[in-house]
Structure 1
C-alpha cells in the first residue's frame, strides 16, 4: 500500500470523553520533571548541531587542537553525533523496516475505548478519517437500555467511531462482535488491546471468581483477540500493527495489586514472544508494547504524589500524551516500545540492585502504600453492567 498523499490532521492531546486533572489543581513544581529536563537537554546540549558548536567556538577563540578543552568538546560532539546516527540503526535492526500506511485502508479496533487512554486513541484516529471500532462492556446493549453515563449504544456511530458492546472476557461474545466489526468496517489492520480490570485487594481476600475474571479480561482476551487479528492478516499477507497495553507494574508489582501485576507481566511476556515469532515469518506485522506509569485519569485520582523529588522522578503522565506517542509510531509503520515517563523505560534495571536497596527505594517511593485502594473499581469510562468489574484503560 502506498502512503497517504494528503497530510494528516494534527494530533490532539486531549479528549472530550476523558476526565483529567486540570493544570490549575497541580502545584507549581509538578511541571518540573525529569522528562522535561531530558527533553530540554536532547534539544540543546545533547543535540548534534549544538554539541558541534562547542569545539568550533573554541577554535574561533584560537584554542589549540591539543588543548584539553578542545579535545574534550570534540570527543563529546563525536559521541553525541554517533548516538543520533546509531539510534535509528538500532531501531531498524530491532524492529525491521516500517510498513507502509494508507489511512484510507486502515481499520482500527480498540478495546476499552470509551475513555482514558483508549478514548484518546479513538478520538485521534477518528480525526484522521480512519475506520475505528471500540469494544467496551460499558456501551449500552440497546438505545432503550441506556443508563446514566452511557452516551452510546451497541452499533452506534458517533464522531467517526463505531461502538460495540462487548465483554472481552467472554470468548463467544468476542468472536461474535469481531465478525460484526469485520462485516461493518472491513478487516482490522490495527488492534489495540487496551481493556483491563483492576481490584485493589489483599491477596488473601481475593475470591476465585475475581481471580478468574481478572485473568480472563486482562490476559486471555489479549490471546484471543491477537489470534483472530493475526489470522486475518496472515491469510491475506496484509500488513498490520498489534498494540499491547501493559504497565510498569509488570516489572515492579505493588501491594494489593498481585493479580493485576501478574496479568500485565503475562501480556508483556506474551508480546515479546509474539514479536520474535512475527519478525521471522511476518515482518509486515508490527508490534508495539505500551508500558506507561501513572496516568492522569480517574482510576488513579486517589493516588497522590508526595514531595517534589518523587514528582520530579515519577510524574503523572497525560493519557493524551501517551496516545499521541502510540499514534505517531503507528503512523510511521514502526514497531517498538512506548514507555512514559522516563523512569518507566529504566524500571526493569531496578531488579539488578541489591534486594535491600530495592526495599529502601520502594519504601521511599511509597509504591506499596499508593495502591492501597478499596476493592471497588474506579474507572474512566462510566458505569458497567450490574455485578460486572469495570473496564479501564491502562496506566
Structure 2
C-alpha cells in the first residue's frame, strides 16, 4: 500500500457555490489543496473560484447533479483529468423542501433524499477509487442537528440521519485503505438555506436568528466559516486516527 502522495492534494467540495460549501472550499484552498468547486450550475461557482484564485489557490468550477450516477462519474473523471486524482471529498450538496408530513409529496421527500444521501453515496463511490489507489484519503459528510428530528423536515432529517450511518459504514470499509470518513453536523448556521426556512415560518431572518441564538449556549448563531474549520481538521494529515465520528458544531451539546 502506497503512502506517498502528490505535493498538492486535490479536494472536491459539493454544493460549493455558496454558504458552507463555499467557505469550506476557500478554507481547503488556504490549507494547500487544489479544489474542485462543484454545484448544480458551474457558472454559480465562479465567485468561489475567484475567491480562491485571488489568494493564489487553484480551483476548478464543475457543474454536477450529484443525484445522477452518470454525471457524478463524469465530474470526478474531469477533476482527475484537469486537477489530479481527488483524495479529499466533502459531501455538502443539499436542498430543502420543507413541509409537514401530511402535506409532504413523494417528490419533496425523494428529491431531498436524492441530493443529500444518494448524492453523498454516488460521490463517495466515485472518489474512493482514487483514494484507495493512493492509499490515502479523507471523506467528510455534512449532516445536521436536524438528524435528531425537526418539525417540518421529515425528508431533510431522514437524509441527514442517513448520512451519519453512511459515514460510519464507509469508515469501516475504507479504513484499511488509509481513508478516514467523518461527519460534521452543524447546528444553526446563517446561510441562504436557513433564510429560506425563516421565510417558510413567516418571520424575518433577523428575528429567526435572534430566536435561535438565545437558545444556543454560546449565544450566537453559527457562520459557514465555523463549519469550514471543522472540516479542515478532519482532512488534515494529523487527523488520521479519527474516523467514523459525528461532530456536532452547534455552539453547545447535541446528540
Instruction: Name the TM-score class by shorter chain.
Output: 0.7 to 0.9
2:217 to 283, 302, 312: 312
Partner of 1:139: 42
Kept in 1, the 8 Å contact 2:92–2:142? The answer is yes
Mapped to 2, the partners of 1:257 and 1:310 lie a distance apart of 20
Kept in 2, the 8 Å contact 1:245–1:291? The answer is yes
Partner of 1:369: none
Higher relative contact order (CA 8 A, sep 6+): 1
SS for the counterpart of 2:236 is helix
2:146 to 249, 257, 276: 249
Kept in 1, the 8 Å contact 2:216–2:251? The answer is no
Query: Post-superposition shift, 1:271?
Result: 0.8
Range with bigger deviation, 213-222 or 270-279: 270-279
Kept in 1, the 8 Å contact 2:37–2:45? The answer is no
Query: Post-superposition shift, 1:166?
Result: 0.8
Kept in 2, the 8 Å contact 1:101–1:333? The answer is no
* Gaps in structure 2 of 5+ consecutive residues: 196-204
Structure 2 CA distance for partners of 1:233 and 1:253, relative to 1, 3 Å: same
Superimposed CA distance per residue, residues 91-115 of structure 1 (whole angstroms, 9 cap, x where no aligned partner): xxxxxxxxx8977331000000111
Structure 2 CA distance for partners of 1:101 and 1:315, relative to 1, 3 Å: farther
Partner of 1:286: 180
Superimposed CA distance per residue, residues 43-98 of structure 1 (whole angstroms, 9 cap, x where no aligned partner): xxxxxxxxxxxxxxxxxxxxxxxxxxxxxxxxxxxxxxxxxxxxxxxxxxxxxxxx
| Bigger radius of gyration | 1
Superimposed CA distance per residue, residues 238-261 of structure 1 (whole angstroms, 9 cap, x where no aligned partner): 2010111101111x2111101110
1:113 to 16, 27, 46: 16
Partner of 1:339: 248
1:265 aligns with 2:164: no
* Gaps in structure 1 of 5+ consecutive residues: 1-99, 141-149, 349-395
Query: Post-superposition shift, 1:332?
Result: 3.7
Mapped to 2, the partners of 1:133 and 1:176 lie a distance apart of 13
Mapped to 1, the partners of 2:6 and 2:119 lie a distance apart of 26
Kept in 2, the 8 Å contact 1:103–1:130? The answer is no
Mapped to 2, the partners of 1:196 and 1:308 lie a distance apart of 23
1:276 aligns with 2:203: no
1:180 aligns with 2:61: no
Structure having the higher strand fraction is: 2
Aligned residue pairs total 235
Query: Post-superposition shift, 1:120?
Result: 0.9
Query: Post-superposition shift, 1:134?
Result: 1.1
Query: Post-superposition shift, 1:308?
Result: 7.5
Range with bigger deviation, 157-166 or 300-309: 300-309
TM-score, normalization: structure 2? 0.81
2:234 to 325, 329, 342: 329
Kept in 2, the 8 Å contact 1:101–1:332? The answer is no
Structure 2 CA distance for partners of 1:307 and 1:176, relative to 1, 3 Å: closer
RMSD after superposition: 2.8
Partner of 1:57: none
